[in-house]
Amino acid sequence: MKTWFRSFAALAVSAVIASPAFAWPDKPVTLLVPFPPGGSTDSLARTLGAKLQTDWNQTVIVDNKPGATGTIGAGQVKRSAADGYTVLVSSLGPFVIAPHLIKNVPYDASKDFDLLMVAVQAPNVLVVPAVSPYKSVADVLAALKKDPGKMSFASSGNGSSDHLTAELFWQQTHTEGLHVPYKGGAPAISDLLGAQVDASFQNINAVISQIQAGKLRALAVTGDKRSALLPQVPTLAESGVKGADVYSWQAIAAPKGLPADVKAKLHKSLVAALQDPAVHKKLTDVGFEIVANTPEQFAQFQAAEFARWKKVIETGKITAD
């Protein structure tokens, strides 16, 4: 009996030592980004990946899997093993927008992921070309009311954050603009700089350099407070437009079913990385605000955002085409 007990105890200890919590990560970790390289989400993933690789003394790979507004990559993460070695780093699109726009999305955004945190957020900013006659939100509203459907608003594509911010702006002000979707943010900003389109609600980090260089004029930010990067630019609420506070955000999730200890260690590592002074400065310098909330807070936030954008999309009869 004593021999059996000693053998059982030895096996139990071995099992603990070999458990994912004890060993993780003992092989490369993949941060899957469901968008092309070069965008805001990719930049966040690479910044975090470099820090985590140092902290863990383990290889961290950033893998870009674009397509179908982020749903292809998100679907791949959903099908991956729930062991902490494949992690989704994504903007809000696949979490709260694409499910309302695309038929047969290959995952359930509310059930198929272990939500870890909203990592960062950033307001959008209403910008016009430097040569534009519009100097304020009041000027934009006057133009929209004078000639409904004529003033053009560029976006990075149907259902993007910049598109839906414009739609929400029109709904809240009972106006109508002309949506001009592009295949990505870069061509939209290029035509905006060339005054080929009248305005756009762009992610602040995508256009801050052009604003600071005087190539674009910022009329308002969509946050609930002014941006530290543009303290002289009012919010939409300050400009008289209520109910249109919008943040673009990037979040981190994993396949459903992570072991609790792996989930806790991963979350702790991500918080520490985001709070690292060098990482914090790199992200805030381009307009990001650090959130780093809890899984429970992320779940509540996702539910609220899911309902909000569903209403905007249905009211505006928006499609992905």
pTM for the predicted model, two decimal places: 0.87
Residues 265 and 193 in one domain: no
pLDDT at 37: 87
Question: Does any domain span residue 61?
Answer: yes
Q: Are residues 111 and 132 both part of a single domain?
A: no
Instruction: For residues 209 and 222, give the distance between their C-alpha atoms in angstroms, rounded to a whole number.
Output: 18
The pLDDT score that the predictor gives to residue 6 is 52
pLDDT computed for residue 123 by the predictor: 95
Residue 5 lies in a domain: no
Residue 19 forms part of a structural domain: no
- Same domain, yes or no, for 77 and 134? no
pLDDT tens readout for residues 107-133: 999 999 999 999 999 999 999 999 999
Q: What is the pLDDT of residue 185?
A: 82
DSSP 234: P
- Stretches where the chain sits below pLDDT 70 are 1-22, 321
Q: In this structure, are 213 and 274 located in the same domain?
A: no
Query: Which pLDDT score, from 0 to 100, does residue 160 have?
Result: 86
Tell me, what CATH number does 152's domain have?
Answer: 3.40.190.10
Q: Are residues 134 and 205 in the same domain?
A: yes
Q: Are residues 198 and 282 in the same domain?
A: no
Give how far the C-alpha of residue 188 lies from the chain's centroid of Cα atoms, to the nearest Å.
19
Most distant CA atoms of the chain, gap in Å: 91
Question: What is the rounded distance in angstroms from the CA atom of residue 109 to the CA atom of residue 209?
Answer: 34
Q: At what angle do helices 40-56 and 260-275 cross, to 10 degrees?
A: 110
79 half-sphere exposure, CB direction, 13 A CA radius: 7
The count of structural domains within the chain is: 2
Same domain, 143 and 107: no
Structure tokens at 197: 């389109």
Q: Does 155 share its domain with 290?
A: no
Are 117 and 254 contained in the same domain? yes
Q: Are residues 47 and 103 in the same domain?
A: yes
Residue 311 bridge partners (DSSP): none
Domain assignment of residue 97, given as a range: 27-121+248-315
